[in-house]
Structure 1
């Protein structure tokens, strides 16, 4: 078999693309000129370069081990006993629960009021300022400052993704989804790795930067993320299509209309069995994927004794592998289809959870981290582009992607909550990691009956 798309799949995509353009020509209007425009697509991918710095430097590489180092291993708060790892996991759960609750209203407003770009800018600003505030997080006395600053970063990052993802079907034709989605993730990995290298140098050799100690260097790393996110984010905004504001009687009316639109989309999604199957599988395996990404470095620091500088090196390896992993997934999808590409990666994710339970030495953990890198970008890139192919209209794409993002956020809530609960009850992060393998197994079972080529316009 050559590397071309299967004829049936190609024809299906072509027919769906033609239907999309015909059915939504009135709405597209000024947007049609943006389809497949190189400057616009590069600007869209640049936002991944901007916000991925938060996902890598703060949530994955530096903040979890820093939190573990400056916060007591066991403490009492809100009248309850917590471990530092369970507190961090619960913080992630609450942050994503908040944004999941807001997403239907916000995405509906974005579509009904034509304010997709506005909300992307707003959440980017919130997230960037949250990162800057972490400079003042120094010890146990700053527990709430650090917690709230981290939560603002998470809310800004997660809240903006639904609006960012929803630009994909509006700026590119369906045949470009896989490649453009992979390009976005790859640019995110490259940009975040470059910033992480700078942060590694700051932590290892603070004196070269005129920084008095490692603690100060770590807190300045949080500042670099905030600046990076805001600067490159606003460059990206200058290249994305401007909002086409729709007439409305007021914010309350727009919000109401947005919720009604969201409910309408839900009815359409329920009418498509294949879309429901994909979303069910996506919800299950996302609980495992996102929890591993958020808490792997904390696991390494607490269970295996990794220092911050060592963890940064591990994450650098992981990210470099992930750059190729995103494009590898796109290549596998082009040859064998999206379902096969996702399924192959789920098998690897399942094995990663099993290996993580038994890993003892640092050298073995490097191998596990490399495996995570191989499938981390691919599973997210393929999931995003597969779902984009299931959306039958461009008129309310933000609401469609809100379903996708809400499911992912609720999966994060469930995954991190179960992880934190088991950690708190058993005192073992290993058992929590092992439990995540269940989510990947369920994802594979549900995905087995999914058939992308059978999806019809709904």
Structure 2
């Protein structure tokens, strides 16, 4: 075996080790998306807000009248507005310095700390809950910019669909494990000698502890790549780099076209995920244990769905598979509008359908976007991508919250999200992805 062969084998081994470490950040942080955003925080924060509401059902943060049932959706919306201001700067700083890992560590532990602090959310502390949600969501968004920006560096173009899908699968396995623990604690809270409220707060805080503990694995295995120094200050240079990034993205209109399509349809996906528990508890009158087991079903099927759709993309191309999944999402929303109250079996069927398309539609979108990013611009471009990812989109929750604010009906709120899938599908269908990849200066895979 020649020295070059040995070096190549060692390099491949190191890259696989780095990929495995990368998967574990999804394993670490996905419990926040599942246990906190999808299951517990929406209904619990709504109940806390109702405790503080006036006779008409309104709370008054900063003197603004807000329906208690809309508070959670509005807090999610505010969090992405904050994240939009922060993410491009962090992405530009990461690309400029080449030091993604320290920034990943800071953002991850801020988010984990805020989530752990949700243990203190009780009584009428709805403002504390909204603040912790905004901090945690913003930190999650920033960390995902940095996490996603590693994908083009650790996977060749032909394997990115597979690597991205495996990352999502790790996340769904993690979410399922945590939900099993949550289900045992919540359903048996009297056996453990704690109240229902305390059980929920323990479930919220445990997600933060899990997030922080498993983040240690990617921090040990991921490595930073050296870049040529650019000689700019941290803050002023960041703003200059942000403006340069926006100008640079105008030079890649096909990449921008895909990003716009993703921004819209992913708003719909993430709003369905983040508001499903509120819809199930408030509109359908389902028990918390039903919601937990339904989301657990989503997590289990999402693992198989993400891997299966990754294989389908290798045969039919990522764009076609994503478009098919968006059609399924539209059917899910229509079915959800007509779900009868107090019917857990129908809710489980809807959850199963969500699970089968959730992971794959997101994983393939991430890997497809990575093909459209110019070399050396990964963190900057993924900061724009992340503006609409992980349930942090501001427009979808705002539309959902406003629909409920005006109509007082969660059914009207959920069906209003169909527009995101219709417009997103139409825009994605118009993107010539092969031309977009070539225009970004990247090699076009055999199947895309």
TM surpasses 0.5:
yes
User: Are positions 1:295 and 2:275 aligned together?
Assistant: yes
In the alignment, what sits opposite 1:15?
none
Alpha-carbon distance change, 192 to 205 in structure 1, aligned in 2, over 3 angstroms: same
In structure 2, runs of 5+ residues without a counterpart are 1-9, 441-448
User: Are positions 1:105 and 2:86 aligned together?
Assistant: no
Which of the numbers 414, 429, 437 marks the counterpart of 2:418? 437
Check conservation: 1:91, 1:147, Cα contact below 8 A. Answer: yes
The 10-residue stretch of structure 1 (299-308 or 238-247) with the greater mean CA deviation from structure 2? 238-247
Q: How far did residue 211 of structure 1 move?
A: 3.5
Which of the numbers 45, 54, 60 marks the counterpart of 1:67? 45
Alpha-carbon distance change, 245 to 447 in structure 1, aligned in 2, over 3 angstroms: closer
Which of the numbers 25, 28, 50 marks the counterpart of 2:28? 50
Check conservation: 1:40, 1:241, Cα contact below 8 A. Answer: yes
In the alignment, what sits opposite 2:366?
384
* CA deviation map 1:140-192 (0-9, x unaligned): 2x112222222222122122110000011111211221111001100000011
Q: How far did residue 411 of structure 1 move?
A: 7.9
Check conservation: 2:274, 2:391, Cα contact below 8 A. Answer: no
In the alignment, what sits opposite 1:6?
none
> For 2:96 and 2:12, how far apart are their aligned partners in 1?
20
In the alignment, what sits opposite 1:283?
263
Question: What RMSD in Å do the two structures reach over aligned CA positions?
Answer: 2.1
User: Are positions 1:448 and 2:429 aligned together?
Assistant: yes
Check conservation: 1:34, 1:241, Cα contact below 8 A. Answer: no
Which of the numbers 392, 396, 420 marks the counterpart of 2:377? 396
Q: How far did residue 248 of structure 1 move?
A: 6.8
* CA deviation map 1:423-457 (0-9, x unaligned): 11110111111111011000111112212222324
The 10-residue stretch of structure 1 (401-410 or 191-200) with the greater mean CA deviation from structure 2? 401-410
* CA deviation map 1:10-37 (0-9, x unaligned): xxxxxxxxxxxxxxxxxxxxxx957971
Alpha-carbon distance change, 340 to 310 in structure 1, aligned in 2, over 3 angstroms: same
TM-score (norm 2): 0.89
In the alignment, what sits opposite 2:168?
185
In the alignment, what sits opposite 1:274?
254
Check conservation: 1:100, 1:409, Cα contact below 8 A. Answer: no
The 10-residue stretch of structure 1 (60-69 or 376-385) with the greater mean CA deviation from structure 2? 60-69
**Number of residues paired by the alignment?**
422
The 10-residue stretch of structure 1 (223-232 or 400-409) with the greater mean CA deviation from structure 2? 400-409
In structure 1, runs of 5+ residues without a counterpart are 1-31
In the alignment, what sits opposite 1:38?
16
In the alignment, what sits opposite 1:152?
135
In the alignment, what sits opposite 1:255?
235
> For 1:338 and 1:409, how far apart are their aligned partners in 2?
20
Find the residue that maps to 2:65 and give its secondary structure: strand
> For 2:34 and 2:392, how far apart are their aligned partners in 1?
20
Find the residue that maps to 1:380 and give its secondary structure: helix
In the alignment, what sits opposite 1:234?
216
Which of the numbers 312, 317, 332 marks the counterpart of 2:312? 332
In the alignment, what sits opposite 1:121?
105
In the alignment, what sits opposite 1:96?
80
Check conservation: 1:283, 1:407, Cα contact below 8 A. Answer: yes
Check conservation: 1:35, 1:170, Cα contact below 8 A. Answer: no
> For 1:243 and 1:116, how far apart are their aligned partners in 2?
9
> For 1:242 and 1:235, how far apart are their aligned partners in 2?
15
Alpha-carbon distance change, 174 to 160 in structure 1, aligned in 2, over 3 angstroms: same
The 10-residue stretch of structure 1 (239-248 or 67-76) with the greater mean CA deviation from structure 2? 239-248
Alpha-carbon distance change, 70 to 266 in structure 1, aligned in 2, over 3 angstroms: closer
The 10-residue stretch of structure 1 (231-240 or 34-43) with the greater mean CA deviation from structure 2? 34-43
Alpha-carbon distance change, 44 to 202 in structure 1, aligned in 2, over 3 angstroms: same
> For 2:344 and 2:410, how far apart are their aligned partners in 1?
16
> For 2:231 and 2:427, how far apart are their aligned partners in 1?
44
> For 1:190 and 1:82, how far apart are their aligned partners in 2?
36
In the alignment, what sits opposite 2:5?
none
